[in-house]
Structure 1
C-alpha cells in the first residue's frame, strides 16, 4: 500500500495573466494592485523572491528607528508588508492604505503588475538583486518548510521551473533587467546581495544617503552590526509568523533567513545542472551589462 502524500495541493499556487503566484497573493489583490495609491514618501523594497527581502526590510527598519522617523519597534507588526498579499480579514493593500507615512512596502511582482502610480509619483525604490543560482538554492529550503507547489522539491525541478518562467512570480530576467535599466533614476537604488554581504556597512550608508537621512558613522556601524545575516536570523523576524502558522510550523524552522551564503549553490547543483543553467543564463541575459558574483 502506498504511503499518503504530504505534498501540498496544486491550488497553493494559481495563474494570473500567465504568471504563477502563491496562494497568499490571491487574484483579488493582484486585480486591485494597479490602482493602489502610491505616496511620494513611500519606501518600496522590490526584489525577486529569495533575493534578500527580509534582510533589507530589517536594515531599513533599523535606519528609520535610529533616525527617529519610526518609534514603534513592535516585533509582532510587519514593518514592511507585501502589497500583493492577503492573509487575514483585510488585505495588505487595505492595511497599507490606512498606515501612516512613511510606509515601507515590499513586493516580488513583475514590473507590469505594480501600481501605475509607482512610475508617476516616484517613491523611493530599493531594489536588491542576487545571483540566480543562490536564489534557486534558497528556494529549495524555503519550499521544504513552506510547501508552495508539489513540483518544487529538488534543484532540478526548481531550476526547470525557474528557467521556463513557471516558477512563482514569473521570469527572473524580466524582473532584474527592468530595474537594472532604471538604476540611474534618482528614485531608484539598485544593490546586489553579494556586495551587501561583502561590505554591509557601505550598503547601509548607501541606503541612508539614498533615503536622505542624517546618521553619523557610529550609528551606521551599529546598524550594520545589528543587521548581519546572523543577527537577523537570531531575532527570528516575527512579522512573518503568520505564514508559519498557516503550515503549523515553529519559528525555529523559519525559512525567511537561512545561511545567506554566497555560492551555496555549489553544494547543491550537479555539474550538469550548473552547465545547463549557465547556458540558459547567458542566453537569457544577452548583452545586458549586469554581472553577479557567483562564489
Structure 2
C-alpha cells in the first residue's frame, strides 16, 4: 500500500463547516482539518505528528486493529489479543487494554487532556508519560506489537498492509452515530450541547472526527482479499462471536480446543466484558476527562439501536445518504 503526497495534503474547515461544527458545542474547539483527497476530518495538530506516523518502522509480526470509532474496536482488540496470546485470560485481566495496544494517533487528544488536568500537577505529570507519542512508545515495545488506530488505511504507516497484519472492523453507520454521540456526551470538557438530531447533522455531513465514515470503511473493504487483511463486521461479532473467533484464529495461524473457545466466549460475553475494568478507560475518570457518574466506555453493544433514536425524517434522509454512498461499491452492512 503506497502513500502519495496527495494522501497527506491538509486544508482547514471552511468558515461554514467550522460554524456548523462549533454550533454543537458550548466551549470553543480548534478548527478541524481535512486530510487527503477523501477529506478525512482530524484535529488541527495532526500535521505536527503525521510524518512520524507515516514513517514509523514496522515489524512483520505487528498486528493492527483498525476501525472508524465506536465500531466495536475494543471488543475486537480483546478478541485478537487473547487469540494471539494463547488465551492468557489472567494477563489480559491484569494489564489494561490501553497498555497492550498503544493508540497510534493518541497525540490528537493530548491538548484536550492536558487542558483538563491543567490545575493538578501530579495528574499532569502522569499524563505526560501516558501521552508520549505512540510511535515513540512502540519503538520500545517488544514484539509482537498490538496497535490500535482509527485512521483510514491511507493514513497508516507506509507499507502497513504489506508488512503487518490488519484486522478491520466495520459497523452500521447509523449505530455508530448513536454510540459516538453518547460517547462524546460522557466527556464534560467537550461541551457537547447538541441534541442527537442536531449532532446527526454533523455526522451525516462528514463533519465528525475521522469522517467520512463510508470512505473509511470502503478503503478497507477494497483490501479485504489482501492476505494481511481480515475484514469483520460488528454485527457478525454480535450475532456469532464463536464463528468470528475461529476466523481470527485462522488469520493469525492459531488453533484451539472447543473448551478454550468456550472460555473465550464467556470472557467476551457482553455482560462480562462491560464489567471488565482492564478494557474500560477508567484512567480517564481518574483524570477527570470522563464523567465518573456516566456511562462506561463499553456502552450497550446493541445492534439496530439507531431505530430507537431516529424519527421518520431522519430515517428517510439516512436512506438517501446511504444509497448515495453505497452506489459505487458492493459493500453491504449486515441487516440487524
User: 1:100-149 deviations in whole A, cap 9, x for unaligned?
Assistant: 1111111001222111120342x111110100100001011101102575
Root mean square deviation, CA, Å: 2.7
8 Å Cα contact 2:69/2:176 also seen in 1: yes
Name the TM-score, length of structure 1 as normaliser: 0.87
8 Å Cα contact 1:65/1:71 also seen in 2: no
SS in 1 for 2:330: coil
Q: Which residue of 1 aligns with 2:182?
A: 141
Q: 1:245 to 1:137 in 2, by over 3 A?
A: same
Number of residue pairs matched? 288
Name the TM-score, length of structure 2 as normaliser: 0.77
What CA distance in whole angstroms lies between the structure 2 residues aligned with 1:204 and 1:8? 42
Is residue 94 of structure 1 aligned with residue 94 of structure 2? no
8 Å Cα contact 1:236/1:252 also seen in 2: no
Q: Which residue of 2 aligns with 1:116?
A: 158
Unaligned runs of 5+ in 1: 1-5
Q: 1:22: how far off?
A: 5.2
**Which of 329, 332, 336 does residue 288 from structure 1 map onto?**
329
Describe how 1:1-295 pairs up with structure 2 within 5 A. 7-11=26-30, 14-15=32-33, 17=35, 19-21=40-42, 26-67=46-87, 73-76=93-96, 78-86=99-107, 87=110, 88-89=127-128, 90-121=132-163, 123-146=164-187, 150=191, 153-238=194-279, 240-249=281-290, 253-295=294-336
8 Å Cα contact 2:280/2:297 also seen in 1: no
What CA distance in whole angstroms lies between the structure 2 residues aligned with 1:178 and 1:15? 20
Q: Which residue of 1 aligns with 2:124?
A: none
Q: 1:68: how far off?
A: 6.1
SS in 1 for 2:99: coil
SS in 1 for 2:65: strand
Moved more, 77-86 or 234-243: 234-243
Unaligned runs of 5+ in 2: 1-24, 111-126
Q: 1:15 to 1:181 in 2, by over 3 A?
A: same
SS in 1 for 2:144: coil
SS in 2 for 1:235: coil
What CA distance in whole angstroms lies between the structure 2 residues aligned with 1:63 and 1:271? 43
Q: 1:147 to 1:170 in 2, by over 3 A?
A: farther
Q: 1:8: how far off?
A: 3.9
What CA distance in whole angstroms lies between the structure 2 residues aligned with 1:69 and 1:211? 18
8 Å Cα contact 1:26/1:85 also seen in 2: no
What CA distance in whole angstroms lies between the structure 1 residues aligned with 2:205 and 2:288? 28
Q: 1:72: how far off?
A: 6.7
What CA distance in whole angstroms lies between the structure 1 residues aligned with 2:154 and 2:189? 23
What CA distance in whole angstroms lies between the structure 1 residues aligned with 2:236 and 2:275? 22
Q: 1:239: how far off?
A: 6.2
User: 1:187-206 deviations in whole A, cap 9, x for unaligned?
Assistant: 11111111111111111111
SS in 2 for 1:49: coil
What CA distance in whole angstroms lies between the structure 1 residues aligned with 2:169 and 2:40? 21
Q: Which residue of 2 aligns with 1:3?
A: none
